[in-house]
Amino acid sequence: MTGPDGVFAGARPGTIIIDMSTISPVVARKLAAEAEARGFKMLDAPVSGGEVGAINATLSIMVGGPQDVYERCLPIFQVLGKNINRIGDSGAGQVCKACNQVVVALTIEAVAEALVLAQKAGVDPAKVRQALMGGFAHSRILELHGQRMLDRNFNPGFRVRFHLKDMNIILSTGKEYGASLPVSAMVMEMLKSLVATGHGNEDHSALLRVIENLSGTEVKAAVTA
């Protein structure tokens, strides 16, 4: 972005720069300040929704930056996604994405624990998932990733190594702003172990493998949910 052949070097005053990657909120704010000093405007606009959301143009887009710039760029975002929100000033979009990744990672881990507990207790994990789907524990992660776990389908939608990258961002952001994130730190270590054992390119629902290894079991559904 800021190197001799980077975006800033080639941009003209008045240019609007939209960063849709997932990076540190701290870095996003520094880049926005530098862009402003050079006569540019910048939005941070990370996304959620995975490969399916990108293909179907149904991404959730979390935007940080000036209101007037956001409004000018809204037609672009509307082509790419459905749930589009300006969260606040520069960096706010990246903060929101970090929060998203916390909830996703911790919920995947919780679903993995629940299915392993059912398996170890001699109860069909598919039936447990099916029952939980009708109660307060229902979530898209229980619905989609829970089924992935039952099917042992770890073909990547969102890869373990990418979520590990995001967890590093989350923990460094928490340190920067004094937020304690103890369970996020635990899940990050689980993701590290998956990468270290050759599962980094699998879907992040492969967190199940970690809980299985710790419990000495493998989740096997007796029925299809």
Say whether pLDDT at 58 is over 90: yes
Question: Which of 89, 122, 147 is at the close of a domain?
Answer: 89
Burial class (CB in 10 A: 0-12, 13-18, 19+), 203: buried
Active-site pick, 97, 120, 175, 192: 97
Helix-then-strand count for the chain, H and E: 10, 5
List, for residues 1-49, the tens digit of each pLDDT value.
999 999 999 999 999 999 999 999 999 999 999 999 999 999 999 999 8
Tell me how many degrees the CA angle 194-100-2 measures, rounded to the nearest 5.
85
Find tokens 């930056």 and name the residue: 65
Specify the number of domains making up the chain: 2
pLDDT tens for residues 62-111?
999 999 999 999 999 999 999 999 999 999 999 999 999 999 999 999 99
Single-letter amino acid, residue 59: L
* pLDDT at residue 146 in the model: 97
- Please indicate, yes or no, if residue 129 is contained in any of the structural domains: yes
Assess whether 82 carries a catalytic annotation: no
Any idea how long the chain is? Answer: 225
Residues 108 and 209 in one domain: yes
> Global pTM?
0.92
- Nearest-angstrom CA–CA distance, 27 and 30: 5
The reply to whether 45 and 73 lie within a common domain is yes
Of 73, 89, 105, the last residue of a domain is: 89
Q: Are 81 and 122 in a shared domain?
A: no
Range of the domain at 128: 95-215
Q: Do 141 and 51 have their domain in common?
A: no
Is the same domain home to 202 and 112? yes
Q: 99 and 204 share a domain?
A: yes
- Tokens, residue 116: 């392993």
pLDDT bin (cut points 50, 70, 90) of residue 225 is very low
| pLDDT confidence bin for 223, thresholds 50/70/90 | low
Give per-residue pLDDT as tens, 124-162: 999 999 999 999 999 999 999 999 999 999 999 999 999
Residues 163 and 199 in one domain: yes
Q: How far apart are CA 159 and CA 131, in angstroms?
A: 28
Kindly state whether residues 80 and 99 are assigned to the same domain: no
